[in-house]
Amino acid sequence: MISVKIIGLLLDYPDESLWAAREELISALHSADELDQPGCDRLARFIQSYCAQPLLDAQEAYCELFDRGRATSLLLFEHVYGESRDRGQAMVDLLGQYRAAGWELASRELPDFLPLYLEYLAALTAEQAGAGLQDIAPILALIGARLRQRENHYAELFDLLLELSGSELRGTSLAHRVAGEARDDTPAALDAVWETEQITFLGQPGCDSAEQIRHQHRFAGAVVAQYINIEQPADNASSVDHARNAVCSRPNDPEGD
């Protein structure tokens, strides 16, 4: 699916090759039939506007948005497992899925990096790619809602991915769910993440108790990770359970559009 491939490129770290290929990307949309004409026009306008800015500005904005905090992280399992050790096994499973499809990762990115996953889906059939997008639709809607709350132009790409998935979920429908979230990309929030916990010794007078230290653990209080369970009306399963099981269970057919 050409449009999925293009959106994946636009969600990756911007570089000179992307800027140089802007017209080529827009031309490629003419042969993409996954999006309707208004959708293609929206994507073309995004590319023109996005690549019209200085590259260094785009790179700085990208890092500020996607590399600070976890609310808008492009690592899919960040929104499913957080810091749980189960995330490691999920990575192994997804890596195995790539390898079964004939892929061998040669980049520094983790297997659940969204642009990488989109590149994988773009190599599948349209039906399989749509199913793969639908599996992660709750995550896409959540990130999109947070981006729209910040009035960030990247929200447009997540809206388009949701349209391609065929899911009824939209970032706009989650606006009320993210409205009360504490920002996790502020200096105070980031300091709390990297704060070193106090080391105590058993029975040492004047030391905090283990329970107190646990309350000081990173992401405590106002900077707690903002994960939202989006209910699935069909089976009442949470989006977290749905995404956890689905991302690592797509068909391994490397053939596609």
The string of pLDDT tens digits covering residues 55-64 is 999 999 999 9
The string of pLDDT tens digits covering residues 144-173 is 989 988 899 999 999 999 999 988 877 776
253: left (phi over 0), alpha (psi -120 to 50) or beta: beta
Is pTM, for the whole model, over 0.75? no
Residue 238: pLDDT band (50, 70, 90) is very low
For 7-35, b where at least 16 C-beta lie within 10 A, e where not — what string?
bbbbbbebeeebeebeeebbeebeebebb
Q: What is the DSSP letter of 217?
A: S
| Residue 67, pLDDT above cutoff 90 | no
- DSSP β-bridge partners for residue 113: 75
- State residue 185's pLDDT score: 55
- State residue 243's pLDDT score: 47
- State residue 232's pLDDT score: 43
- N-terminal to C-terminal alpha carbon distance within the chain: 5
How far is it, in rounded angstroms, from Cα 125 to Cα 256? 4
- The stretches of 67-225 forming alpha helices (DSSP H) are 86-100, 114-122, 126-135, 137-149, 155-165, 175-178, 187-194, 210-215
